Amino acid sequence: MIHDLLVHSSKYENLHPHFPAAFNWLKNFNPSTPDGKYEIAGTDCVAGVQRYTTKPSTEKKWEAHQTFGDIQVIYSGEETCGHTDVSRLQSSEAYSASKDVEKFTAPTFSTTQLHLRGGYFTVFYPQDAHQPGVAFAQPTEVLKVVIKFKL
């Protein structure tokens, strides 16, 4: 997992061939862009624009991916995103190759709680189980872009 300011993204662009184009897309993102999927490098690097209301952690599932990594950026609003190593969790929904996601039961131990807000990005790899969309202080409207990059 990587969590840093978007203005520092150039320090990470050599970590994956799709990162230069992905971070360029994120830095030039127009918040009036409608929700939906946008190809950056074919289907191997796709931006998903989404607007939603955050929810209590009891209503949000933990997840992890195997084929694609995530770069998540909040453009308005804020949320908490839980993080822990996937090996520490119990599967609740088997891995779906077509959706590239496995769901997990909520952990009974302390996890890292990231405060996702404007100006920051977070990269999740397959070992990074995460619980996005959790209300920080109270439910709030969020504009978020999740870039899926093929590993």
Across residues 54-79, what is the average pLDDT? 98
Q: Please tell me the total number of residues recorded for the chain in this structure.
A: 151
User: Closest Cα partner for 5 from 31, 26, 29, 21?
Assistant: 26
Task: Provide the whole-model pTM.
Answer: 0.95
Domain span at residue 43? Answer: 2-150
Q: How many domains does the chain divide into?
A: 1
For a pLDDT cut of 70, what percent of the chain falls above it? 100
Round the average pLDDT of the chain to a whole number and report it.
97
Count other C-beta atoms under 10 Å from residue 54's C-beta: 25
pLDDT of amino acid 88? 97
Instruction: Kindly report, residue by residue over 67-123, the tens digit of the pLDDT.
Output: 999 999 999 999 999 999 999 999 999 999 999 999 999 999 999 999 999 999 999
pLDDT of amino acid 86? 98
User: What sections of 1-151 are H helices per DSSP?
Assistant: 19-27
Residues 6+ apart with CB under 8 A from 52: 133, 141, 142, 144
Q: What CATH number has the domain bearing residue 19?
A: 2.60.120.370
Cα separation of 107 and 118, whole Å? 27
